[in-house]
Amino acid sequence: MNQPQQLPDPLTAPLEQIDFSDPRLLEQDAWRPYFARLREEDPVHYQAESPFGPFWSITRFDDIVAVDSNYEVFSSEPTIIIGDLTDDMRVEQFIAMDPPKHDVQRRAAQPVVAPQNLAQMEPLIRSRVVEILDNLPVGETFNWVDDVSINLTTQMLATLFDFPFEERSKLTYWSDMATGSPEIAGGDTSPEERIPALMDCLETFTRIWHERKGRDDGGFELISLLQRDPNTADLVDRPMEFLGNIILLIVGGNDTTRNSATAGILALNQNPAEYDKLRANHGLIPGMVSEIIRWQTPLAHMRRTAKHDVIFQGKQIKQGDKVVMWYLSGNRDESAIDNADSFIIDRANPRHHISFGFGIHRCMGNRLAEMQLRILWEEIMRRFSHVEVVGEPERVKSNFVRGYTSLPVRVHPL
């Protein structure tokens, strides 16, 4: 299916003429009525043609939980994004593996983001947030995405890997390269730029791995943890698996938190009554953080591949079919979440959202993400009566990353 010049009318176009993989749905923030219609009319929907081939769309909350939990039928191999891996870069990563290999590799990385480890990191994270916020240009319009969201998450990634701090912007660049290609998720990154960038990532981390091996100081950053676990101690000898897992950890810690850090500002500006609630009660921050993550849904989908024929909600899914779980749709499903389109910072059950996924691939870094956003908001509220949005946001062109490239703001100190 060639993508037409203009998006079809979401309410009147025949469903078979709508391409739910069109990256402009997110880029233009036009997706809501399209997915609302699918949830209503055909919640498990087969699209016969798309730039990524035929695929199923799973759009309701409970159906997504069911698919996400069933790795026996719905495999994460060979990849978890709608577009297939390109032949020039066949990375392997545990998010795109099934048990038992997945379990072994994830267990090696998981302790770094376990809450005891996070508690030790909290003062360092807070000091970095404070420094970023204290250096914002009061009285000027600036881009919140660059000056706060990217800056903060890049510093966090450098901390998690103990990556050379002055070179940390490479981490964000590699992350953008990893998910930016048209074949994978509809972005604009060319292979000429992407492949050398990812090879540079591999070479850099291979060098760091060997340097750290000699150091052997019992550190708790990710590379040392991987080296100490017998199952991943020789990961560096399997370059595509090494690169894949490094990219997974970089992307996992980058796009997600970055875009949620921007989303909170946008959501509160669009919902001034909620901003007033927050000003009156900073104790709402933890629940608000979950609500921001739901409202934003920074990763719009995850994909599975059917391992064998299965009837799901009355539909015949065939072996080998792509099955795309639209997390952003599940998070707007009124049958699971009251007033799902509204941003409400004091919901009764704010953690009941689908942004982290469910089942064995559920986001490993969810507590880290929540902690970073909690600290960010605690420190924002200590300084500013209003972070005012003064222009329209610009959004990422992708059907996978739901994010922002710019959000012009001005800050008003207390």
Q: If binding is defined by CB under 8 A, does position 103 make contact with another protein?
A: yes
Q: If binding is defined by CB under 8 A, does position 99 make contact with another protein?
A: yes
Residue 412's DSSP bridge partners are 386
Q: Are 285 and 377 in contact (CB under 8 A)?
A: yes
Q: If binding is defined by CB under 8 A, does position 68 make contact with another protein?
A: yes
* 3-state DSSP assignment of residue 229: coil
Q: Are 106 and 94 in contact (CB under 8 A)?
A: yes
Q: Nearest distance from residue 103's CB to another protein, in Å? A: 5
Cis omega (within 30 of 0) on the bond before 78? Answer: yes
- The window from 67-75, 159-167, 204-212, 238-246 that contacts another protein (CB under 8 A) reads 67-75
Q: Which of residues 37-66 bind another protein (CB under 8 A)?
A: 65
Nearer to another protein, 277 or 367 (CB): 367
Nearer to another protein, 77 or 103 (CB): 103
Please give, one letter per residue, the 3-state secondary structure of 331-364: CCCCCCCCCCCCCCCCCCCCCCCCCCCCCCCCCC
- The window from 84-92, 109-117, 272-280, 305-313 that contacts another protein (CB under 8 A) reads 109-117
Q: If binding is defined by CB under 8 A, does position 116 make contact with another protein?
A: yes
Nearer to another protein, 51 or 111 (CB): 111
Contact with another protein (CB under 8 A) among 34, 55, 71, 275: 71
* Tokens 């001005």 belong to residue: 410
Q: Are 154 and 172 in contact (CB under 8 A)?
A: yes
How far apart are alpha carbons 96 and 298 in whole angstroms? 19
- The window from 29-37, 87-95, 105-113, 398-406 that contacts another protein (CB under 8 A) reads 105-113
Neighbours of 142 (CB within 10 A): 18
- List the structure tokens of 195: 């492949």
Contact with another protein (CB under 8 A) among 73, 95, 96, 113: 113
Give the x-and-dash track for 280-319 against another protein (CB under 8 A).
Answer: ----------------------------------------
Nearer to another protein, 22 or 291 (CB): 291
Nearer to another protein, 151 or 290 (CB): 290
- List the structure tokens of 56: 């199923």
The dihedral through the CA atoms of 301, 302, 308, 312 has a sign that is: negative
* Tokens 């064995």 belong to residue: 360
Residue 404's DSSP bridge partners are 395
- Name the percent of the chain in helix, strand, coil, to the closest 5: 50, 10, 40
Q: Nearest distance from residue 320's CB to another protein, in Å? A: 24
Give the x-and-dash track for 346-365 against another protein (CB under 8 A).
Answer: ---x-xxx--x-xxx-x---
Residues that bind another protein (CB under 8 A): 65, 68-69, 71, 99, 103, 106-107, 110-111, 113-116, 349, 351-353, 356, 358-360, 362, 366-367
